[in-house]
Chains A and B, each alone.
Chain A
């Protein structure tokens, strides 16, 4: 075998089809760094008893898995022609899950929505705001009015105090998204009921970031330890 064939074999053993070539190098999410560092403590003694017994178990999320991916949001802000008097923000969230291989079992998906410190500290704690998340069930066509037939409510929460980030479990939804035709993304709305246009609505667009943490299990990479005969 030549060097290239050997490399292909090795990459295949590592669960990769070929040498990867990313285009943009996004920053590594802090949680993923922490998880990596925890797993990279030096020496053979680092593998504590739990990890030896459960090599394909993600302690941080308490689910089976050996692959953790962070998918960046690829959705766009929705700018409605009608004045959204009660809405600070309306945004489509879209995560392309095509990187998951067919034999991988998705065991957890967690949506994280982050705000910049400037924005959430500036918001008044006395005025509750509402965060709503919908699953898009039908492509909204140009000129189509209303949203009632094109989306399904997933959750709605009111918050008196703004937080730096919000985390939501989207495991079941993400499992459906593995069929590309069913992945129409989400619609996120943030509103402030008592104020038509609160002053702390302004600028929220630039302060929002969303990502999807997905844990999956590739069974071929998770051998159960052989017992000594």
Chain B
């Protein structure tokens, strides 16, 4: 399920709220905890001129310049995760062992262009 934070109306690249529920994907029978987690995702434009807040790469800055000159030929840079954090999942395996596993890059903390 996805839903936006109500007060944020700008269409600039930033993390948006996304809660992933393991029961929605039918994994609740073997995942003990968490029941779900706030994974988030990146969405929004990377417009010209890119500001510092948009965590832009040099390449993205140049791409926006080229895009402003030739919107048909060159797309705007993409809005992508630039900082992710891990989560741990507690689950039962097929041999009924209890497993605690660490997974990297599961939560979007920051987005950038």
B33: chain A residues at CB < 8 Å are: 36, 40
Question: Is A32 part of the binding interface, using a Cβ–Cβ cutoff of 8 Å?
Answer: yes
- How many residues does chain A have at the interface if contact means C-beta atoms less than 8 Å apart? 37
Question: Is the pair B102, A55 in contact by a Cβ cutoff of 8 Å?
Answer: yes
Shortest Cβ distance from residue B37 to the other chain A in the assembled complex, whole angstroms = 9
Chain B residues, CB < 8 A from A7: 25
Closest Cβ of chain A to B105, distance in Å, is 8
Q: How far is the CA of A21 from the CA of B70 in the complex (A)?
A: 54
List of B residues within 8 angstroms of A70 by Cβ? 97-99
Contact flag A28-B98 (CB < 8 Å), given A21-B29, A22-B30: yes
Which label, helix, strand, loop or mixed, suits the secondary structure of the B interface? strand
Once the chains are docked, how many angstroms separate the CA of A221 from the CA of B101?
Answer: 10
A96–B98 CA distance with the chains assembled, in angstroms = 13
On whether the beta carbons of B32 and A23 are closer than 8 Å, the reply is no
**Residues B95 and A96 in contact, CB atoms below 8 Å apart:** yes
| Contact A40:B34 (CB < 8 A) given known A20-B93, A32-B90, A55-B86 | yes
Q: How far apart are A225's CB and chain B's nearest CB, in angstroms?
A: 9
A69 is contacted by which of B26, B87, B98 (Cβ under 8 Å)?
B98
Number of chain B residues close to chain A: CB under 8 A = 31
Once the chains bind, are B97 and A72 in contact (CB under 8 Å)? yes
In the complex the two chains form, what is the Cα distance from A135 to B78 in whole Å? Answer: 58
Residues 73 to 120 of chain A near chain B (Cβ within 8 Å): 96, 98-99
Question: Is B101 a contact partner of A67 (Cβ separation < 8 A)?
Answer: yes
Instruction: Identify which of A19, A33, A44, A99 contacts B95 (C-beta below 8 A).
Output: A99
Contact B96 A72 (CB under 8 A): yes
Let me know if A55 and B104 touch, CB within 8 A. yes
B contact residues around A71 at 8 Å (CB): 97
Q: How far is the CB of A112 from chain B (nearest CB, A)?
A: 13
Is A14 engaged at the interface, CB distance under 8 Å to the other chain? yes
Given A40-B87, A44-B107, residue A69 in contact with residue B97 (CB < 8 A) = yes
Q: Mark A22-46, 1 if CB is under 8 A from B, else 0.
A: 1111101100110110011000101
Question: 11 A-B pairs, CB-CB below 8 angstroms?
Answer: A15-B101, A19-B30, A20-B93, A22-B93, A25-B96, A26-B96, A26-B98, A28-B32, A39-B87, A69-B99, A222-B104
